[in-house]
Every structure is written in C-alpha cells, then in structure tokens.
Amino acid sequence: MAISGVGAVSGAGLGTEALWTAVTDRRVLTGPVTRYDMSRYPARCGVEVPSAAVVALDSVVPGHESLAARYLAAAALEGLRDAGLPAHGRQRRLGAFVGTVMANRPLLDRGIGPGGLAVPGHGWARPDDLLDTLRKTVQVTGPTVLLAPGCAAGNSAIAAGCRAIASGEVDVAVCAGVSELSLEILAMFTSLRALAVDTVRPFDVNRRGTIPGEGAGVLVLEPVDRVVARGRRPLAQVLACAAAADAHNPTQPHPDGNGLVSTVHGCLDRAGLTADDVDWVCAHGTGTPASDGIEARAVAKALAGRRRPVVSSLKGQFGHAEGAAAALEAVVAVRALAENFVPGNVTLIEPDPACGGIDLVEPVGRRTPVRTVLSQAFGFGGGVSTILLGEAESAAG
Amino acid sequence: MLPVNDCLSVRGLGLRLPGVTGPQDLVRLVGGTSAAPSEVRRFEAPYTDLDPVDRLAAGPVEPRMPPGVAVRGLRALPHESLLALAAAVTAEDAASPSDLRLAAASPSDLPLAGPSPSDLRLAAASQRDVRFAGASPGGAGWTGTPPGGISGFAAGVGPVAVLWASSSAGLAEYATICVEAAVLDPGLSSPIIGPASAFNGPAATVSIRLGLDGPNETVTGGTTAGLTALIEAGRFVADGAAARALVGASATVSRWSLAGLAEDFVAAEGAGCLAVQPWHDGDPGVRLGRFHRVGLDRSRLVTESRDLVRAALPPGGPRLGAPPGTGAAAGRGATGGAAAVGSGPMIVSALDVGLVEALAEVHPGPVWHLERSLGDFGAAGGFMAVACAVAYCAGARAPTSLLALAIEPSGNAAVMEVFTWGASTSSSVW
C-alpha cells in the first residue's frame, strides 16, 4: 500500500513542511490558550493552529463554522496535490476515511459564558457536517466514512482506507485525522487532574499530564502500481495495520498494555518483520503519569529483541491533538522515513526509570537509517490502533 | 485477503426498540402493518438559552438488562451505553451454542413472563438457525452471560470485534460538561461524565463489559454509518483480525440530539446488535451479502439513487442459484426454489421522502421507509434497515433476498444484500 501524498494543519501552521520544520527545529508549540477564557483554570495551555494560519485558510478552502472542517479540507487538498492527483474527477474511485474524537461538537463550546450556555446553531449536533468543506473541495466518488473510536481515530482511518484499497473498493483513499481545540476537553481533563500546567513531558519522571491540541493530518493511499504508473514514486508505504481493545476500563489502559502488545505483534506478523526491524516507535506518549509507564513497558515487552526499541513521542512539541494526533504522527513518520531522522523527545529532561526497557531518543533526535516506523494510538474506551510504515524503496520495487 | 462480499453469517440479533419484543415486531412496524409507539415529550436544557421543546418522540426505551450482566457500575453509564450493552448481550446470548445455553439455565428456569417468549423460541427453532433473544427478561434470561464472563459466542474463538454506529452517543454528556463549564468552577465537572462525552461510549462499554478484546471501532456521521460498521466488520473477519463480531447501532433522544434530527420524523430511540461470524460453505442461516458504497452526485441524487438500486438488482429478472463455491448451498437452493434479489421489500433509510418514493418506481417489490415507520435514528438508521432485513429473512420461507439501502443528503450511499441460503446471489462486485 503506497502513501502517495501527505498533508497537515498543525500548531506549526499550514502544511507538511511547517510541521516537519517544527519537528527538526525542536519547537515546543504548547502555550496559553487564546481562543477561550481560561483565566479561572489551573492549567491554561493548549496547542492552537496559529491565528495567521487560520486566516490563511480563507485562500485555501471555503468558509465553515467548524475550524476542524476547514483543517480537514486544507490537509486533504495538500495531500492530493502532493500525490499529483486532482481534487475532482469522476473517473476514479476516491474514498474519504476520516477519524475524529468529537467531530463538530466543539462548536458548542463557543457558547460557554458566565452563568450559562448560549447555544450556537445546530452544527454541533450533526457530526456529518464535519465533512462539508471536504465535500466542497474534493470529489468523493467512493465511500465517505467518519470514524470516532477515541484518540486512536487517525490510525483507524488509515487502516480503514487500507482495507478499502486492498479489497478493490477504491483506487484512492484520503485518510485523515482531525480535531479542533475544545474547551469541553480542557474542562474534562481539568476535572480528571490530567492536564500539565506548562509542558508535556512524555516518559519523564516529572511528567504531570497532557495538553490538548488540534489540527489535521492526511495520508493519501493508493496501490503501488497505480502510483508508479503515473510516473511517480511512493513517499512511503503502509506495511501493516492492527487494532484491538484493552477491554478493561473506560479511562485507564490495561496495566499490562494488552491491547497495545496485541497490535504490535499483529503488525509485525502481517508484515513478516521482527522486533529488531523496527527503527522507530512513534509513541502515543501523552505525558500522563499512568499511561506513559504502561506504554513503555508494553512496547518493551512487545518488541523484545536484540536491542531496546527506539521510542519518542511528539506530544511534547504538539500536545495531544486527539483525533488528529495519530494522523499527524503518521505524516511525521513518512518524513522520518524519507529523511532518515528519528525525532527526539524534545521536552524530556529526566527519563523515568520505569521506562528503562525502551531506548528514549534524546531531545535532539537521531540521524540514522529509518526503514520502518511503528506508530501506535489509544485512548478512552480502550481502543488501540497501530500502523507499521515502511520506506518507499521497497514499495517502488 | 478473502473476499468480503458474502462473508458474514448472522447468528444472533438483539433489539431494544419501542414496541419491539421480537424480530417480527420490527418487520411489522417497518412494513407499516402496525405503528411504533411514540408520544409528545417535553425536552429541556437547563442553564442554556435553548427553549423547551415539545416533540413527537419514541421511548424513552428501557434497557431491560438481561439477567447475568454484572450490575456494578451500570448506574454510572449513559443511557445509550446501557441500551447498547443490553442489545449486545441479547445478540451474543442468542448466538451462543445451545449447550452453553442449557448450562446457563435449565428449561424449567425459563421465565415465561414478558412478551412472547414462545415466539422467540419458535424463532430459534425454525428461523434457519438465526437466533433471536427478545427485549424481555424472558428472552434474554434464556441464556445468561456469566457475570463478568465471556459468552459462548465469544469464548475461545479468538478476537471478537465490536463495531458501533451512533451520532447521539455522548452528546448529552458533552453538553452537560459545557453547561458545567459555564456554571461551575473549573475542576468541578463530573469526572465520570467527561470520558463518556465522545461517540465511542457504546462500543467501549460493550467491549469492557463483555471482555471483547478484538478491534473496537465507532462509526458516526449520517445514516450510512451502520452499514459501514457491518462492512468494516466483514473486513476484520475476512483478513483474520477478528474471529467474530458484534455490530450494532443506537440512538437516544435528548434536547441536544433533537438539534441534529430531521423535524419531519419522530425522534427515534433504541439500539440493535447483530452477532456475526464468518460464513462457511454449508452453514444455514441469514447472510449479509454483496454491498456497495458510493458517493452519489447530490445534484442528481434521484437519478443516481435509482441507478444504484437498478445495479443492485439482477439484470433480466431473477438470478437463480447459490454463490460460487457453495455446492451444498446450490443443492438446497434448487430444492427450495430460488428467490430473486428484490422479490422482498427494499428497506431504505433516508431523510428525503420524495427520494424514497422515487426508488419505488424502479424496485419490483415494496419499498419500506425506515424513518417514516420508526423515526430518525441519525447514524443508526442504516443499521436498523439491515436489522429489519435480517428479521424479515429469518421469518420468511427461504430462499429470500432483499436490499437494505442508506442514502444521505450529501450523496453518500451504501446498499447491502441480506438473504437466506439458497437465494440468488453472487460474489461479483456491483
């Protein structure tokens, strides 16, 4: 399965290049939330798509009350352009597979005011509206699928697109994850005492919680021979996808990371690879005390080989973009494969000894051959979705 | 990867719908021979500027949780998750092997109270091995999932996937957090409600409560979501990611969900779940057959929808015979007489009454409009159309074949064939 194009809208701005530059420049994009009044909140940080980038969306996609709808369309257009595919055309079978956590519900947040809720319109009750702008800008002749399995949404969307192509249902799959910064989520995580006050520090002994973010990531998938027939080279390939559930607790991962271990093994089995073949584990790594330790142990167990698995999390830089997180991380993984660079744990100061079974990448990152990347995601409800990406050379034959 | 079309057989159906105590009730309601109960209810949203609304709505539907489900913590679950869990347990129990069922409860223990237990047993005995446990304690209590344990349907077979469709799950909880953010100090929102404010509460609840560790996916959006859940389940099963699956859909009515529903229909509430497993040559029962998902041109929606239905029907009249590679099936089909796709009703989930009426002009059998019969289920509508088709097939003389179709205003559409063994079908792609 070839990845022929990528697109992104993130805290770094519009475009994949802005995202990758932020990664390599080790920019930490968490900061005070400006979109909502957070003055009464003990933790007031988030990651917002910069206001200048939001303004710049006007020249890229039609207007819509939902920022998420516009992020999604902008990233999809970039992905198709990157793949050398027109946005419109009835001759091809193009499907859209979109992952989200809250869809348009954050529209409701805008009515939160002193003493009550001034309910704006109806769009927050119609999740399908999230796709409005995408449908105006991209001609979807195949299925449109909106997945909302929790924070694994981006990987779920990529996996659904892979299945659709493998079955011959579509020729092109636009696979996306998208999210809009939500005051409801900030309020929820405040009550759960799960927010970091200043910085997300995945796998650090002093990690204190996560910080919500937003954006959209897109992978355009096609059969390899279709990309080659157009005279292009795939950017990378999806080697395998696997999904599972912890079946344990609505908010806590299984203490043994059962679901994650299962998906890691599932990906390796399907790809015919071993633990030692994985060059980088792009971790879920939210920076919460409980989750990171479980994830580190599960990865060490699932990838036990001749060397400790090489692990880093991007959430120290980009926060947790929820529905967009896994898709944005997949976009970064594609670039990591192309550039032979493993991003670092930029905010890591003192590695947690409980994470000793994994090789935490130093903040500066590592320039090293990268042939395979494992990217995992999980969230509330216990759903886990993992993808294994590989370099372009073998895809192109 | 195995072909996905025709790969699933239905082993159990669980329903929590108003006026439905067994599968044939659903057929009668959607077919229009009886009316679904509904009443004008008042919906309010305190601490907001939303005015109270009096609206014709179904329900409220009671979960009627089957005996044997661990009750601890159930009261903290959202209503829609409870409906989903009850429907899933019922479907799973109905699909469990009979020896486990007998082990769980002797015949003398069968509660006879509640609606039509005899109908349910008849269904189990004669309806081509698709079993149905009704919404009544009688039906579900027949089997009994061990508290906190795994039923016969899921035990020892490998990963069991859970796929669920809903557009209303978590919405009332999301709105509650927003209201609390407005009227309470930060940090005082309920830590229980927040995690339930996403769409995936039903799928997560079913997975956690039933110990199902296979893929866990939630589909939302418009009415095609439920068909997509079934199609994705077929793909998980076909590529070996799951051995079996519970696939369901649900909707609940609140002041909040009304904002997303069409005003022309009753606001519908309820849940349904199908227990599905890979179809093997020679298996009896109801099967999920060919499907097609497509993005229609919304400016030509009527024309392209008609074309979609025509393409789903066999050219030149009935196609006879069983699917390729089904030798035993061919024999059964030959002796039982074959039915044509479309000889039964086509069940359509769509918000456009005119569009559905236009489809009646190209479909040889009757066209049943789910929303006009039961109301607007949001993203659960397409699944309910399939559930009704399964119930119809199970109650009709085999071979029987019919179409379930979902069309969204955007043009996103999905159609699936549901049939009993021996009916005309084909693995070819439409």
Across the interface, which of B186, B258, B414 has its CB nearest the CB of A41?
B186
Judge if B314 and B331 occupy the same domain: yes
Chains A–B, number of C-beta pairs less than 8 Å apart: 246
Nearest residue of chain B to residue A93 (CA atoms): B294
Q: Is A229 exposed, middle or buried (0-12, 13-18, 19+ CB in 10 A)?
A: exposed
Judge if B337 and B372 occupy the same domain: yes
Q: Of B225, B259, B278, which closes a domain?
A: B278
At residue A146, what is the residue type? L
User: What's the gap between Cα A393 and its chain centre?
Assistant: 24
Q: Does B175 sit within 8 Å of A112, measured CB to CB?
A: no
Candidates B199, B177, B196; CA nearest to B48 is: B177
**pLDDT for the residue B337:** 39
Determine the average pLDDT of the residues in A243-250: 94
Higher pLDDT, A385 or B320: A385
**Contact B224/A at CB under 8 A:** yes
**Contact B2/A at CB under 8 A:** no
Q: Does A381 sit within 8 Å of B220, measured CB to CB?
A: no
Q: Does A111 sit within 8 Å of B178, measured CB to CB?
A: yes
d(CA B278, CA B272): 20
Determine the average pLDDT of the residues in A357-364: 98
Residues 6+ apart with CB under 8 A from A279: A310, A342, A368, A369, A370, A371, A372, A373
Q: Tens of pLDDT along B217-265?
A: 999 999 999 999 999 999 999 999 999 999 999 999 999 999 999 988 9
- Nearest Cα of chain A lies from the Cα of B175 at a distance, in angstroms, of 7
d(CA B204, CA A252): 12
DSSP A135: H
A250 in Cβ contact with A381 (< 8 Å): yes
Element (H, E) at A136: helix A132-137
B391 in Cβ contact with B368 (< 8 Å): no
Candidates B4, B296, B8; CA nearest to A143 is: B296
**Contact B85/A at CB under 8 A:** no
- Nearest Cα of chain B lies from the Cα of A111 at a distance, in angstroms, of 8
- Nearest Cα of chain B lies from the Cα of A231 at a distance, in angstroms, of 28
Q: In which band, very low, low, confident or very high, does the pLDDT at A385 lie, cut at 50, 70 and 90?
A: very high
Mutate to test the interface with B, among A109, A129, A184 (most CBs of B within 10 A): A184
Q: Which residues of chain B have a CB within 8 Å of the CB of A143?
A: 224, 228, 293-295, 412, 414
Mutate to test the interface with B, among A66, A98, A109, A117 (most CBs of B within 10 A): A117
Domain extent at residue B84: 8-278
B38 in Cβ contact with B56 (< 8 Å): yes
User: What's the gap between Cα B32 and its chain centre?
Assistant: 19
User: Is residue B2 in a domain?
Assistant: no
Q: What is the CATH number of the domain that holds B156?
A: 3.40.47.10
Across the interface, which of A102, A118, A163 has its CB nearest the CB of B235?
A163
d(CA B381, CA A85): 34
Across the interface, which of B183, B207, B232 has its CB nearest the CB of A382?
B207
Residues 6+ apart with CB under 8 A from A100: A68, A127, A130, A146, A147, A148, A153, A177, A178, A179, A323, B220
Q: Among A175, A282, A320, A355, which one carries the catalytic annotation?
A: A320
User: Is residue B3 in a domain?
Assistant: no
- Helix axes of B117-126 and B23-31: crossing angle, nearest 10 degrees: 100
Judge if B162 and B80 occupy the same domain: yes
User: Is residue B302 in a domain?
Assistant: yes
Mutate to test the interface with A, among B178, B230, B416 (most CBs of A within 10 A): B178
Residues 6+ apart with CB under 8 A from B224: A143, A144, B293, B382, B406, B407, B408, B412, B413, B414
A45 in Cβ contact with A32 (< 8 Å): yes
> A2-229 has which fold?
Peroxisomal Thiolase; Chain A, domain 1 (3.40.47)
At residue B138, what is the residue type? G
Across the interface, which of B186, B199, B204 has its CB nearest the CB of A187?
B186
Q: Is A151 a catalytic residue?
A: yes
Q: Of B219, B252, B278, which closes a domain?
A: B278
Q: How far apart are the first and last CA of chain B?
A: 19
Judge if B274 and B308 occupy the same domain: no
Judge if B198 and B293 occupy the same domain: no
At residue A125, what is the residue type? A
Judge if B236 and B298 occupy the same domain: no
Q: Phi/psi class of residue A365: alpha, beta or left (left: φ > 0; alpha: ψ in -120 to 50)?
A: left
Q: What is the CATH number of the domain that holds B408?
A: 3.40.47
**pLDDT for the residue A239:** 98
User: Is residue B336 in a domain?
Assistant: yes
User: Is residue B97 in a domain?
Assistant: yes
Judge if B271 and B332 occupy the same domain: no
Positions of chain B with pLDDT lower than 70, given as ranges:
1-6, 97-150, 314-343, 422-430
d(CA B344, CA B312): 13
Q: Does A258 sit within 8 Å of B213, measured CB to CB?
A: yes
Residues of chain A with CATH 3.40.47.10: 2-229, 236-396
Pairing label, strands A280-282, A310-312: parallel
User: How crowded is residue A289: how many other Cβ atoms within 10 Å of its Cβ?
Assistant: 14
User: Is residue B426 in a domain?
Assistant: no
User: What's the gap between Cα A264 and its chain centre?
Assistant: 17
Q: Which residues of chain B have a CB within 8 Å of the CB of A142?
A: 293-295
User: How crowded is residue B247: how many other Cβ atoms within 10 Å of its Cβ?
Assistant: 34
Phi, psi of A255 (to 5 degrees): -55, -30
Q: Does A143 sit within 8 Å of B224, measured CB to CB?
A: yes
- Nearest Cα of chain A lies from the Cα of B244 at a distance, in angstroms, of 13
Judge if B206 and B63 occupy the same domain: yes
Average pLDDT, chain A: 96
Q: Does A113 sit within 8 Å of B235, measured CB to CB?
A: no
Residue A319 token pair: 């926060």
**pLDDT for the residue A382:** 95
**pLDDT for the residue B266:** 95
Q: Which residues of chain A have a CB within 8 Å of the CB of B246?
A: none
- Surface of B (24-53) touching A: CB under 8 A: 45, 47-50
Q: Does A41 sit within 8 Å of B201, measured CB to CB?
A: no
Q: Is A320 a catalytic residue?
A: yes
If one counts the domains in chain B, the total is 2
**pLDDT for the residue B342:** 57
Judge if B311 and B339 occupy the same domain: yes
Helix/strand/coil percentages in chain A, nearest 5: 35, 20, 40
Judge if B257 and B370 occupy the same domain: no
Nearest residue of chain B to residue A42 (CA atoms): B186
By three-state DSSP, how is residue B406 classified?
strand
Q: At the top level of CATH, which class does the domain A236-396 belong to?
A: alpha beta
Judge if B155 and B20 occupy the same domain: yes
Judge if B249 and B303 occupy the same domain: no
Q: Which residues of chain B have a CB within 8 Å of the CB of A141?
A: 294-295
**Contact B212/A at CB under 8 A:** yes
User: What's the gap between Cα A329 and its chain centre?
Assistant: 5
- Surface of B (355-394) touching A: CB under 8 A: 379
Q: Is A175 a catalytic residue?
A: no
B187 in Cβ contact with A192 (< 8 Å): no
Q: Does A249 sit within 8 Å of B186, measured CB to CB?
A: no
Across the interface, which of A118, A146, A191 has its CB nearest the CB of B194?
A191
d(CA B275, CA B153): 8
Determine the average pLDDT of the residues in A274-301: 97
Q: Which residues of chain B have a CB within 8 Å of the CB of A116?
A: 47-49, 179, 182-183
Q: Of B228, B259, B278, which closes a domain?
A: B278
Q: Which residues of chain B have a CB within 8 Å of the CB of A127?
A: 167, 199, 220-221, 260, 379
Q: Phi/psi class of residue B282: alpha, beta or left (left: φ > 0; alpha: ψ in -120 to 50)?
A: left
**Does residue A205 register a pLDDT over 80?**
yes
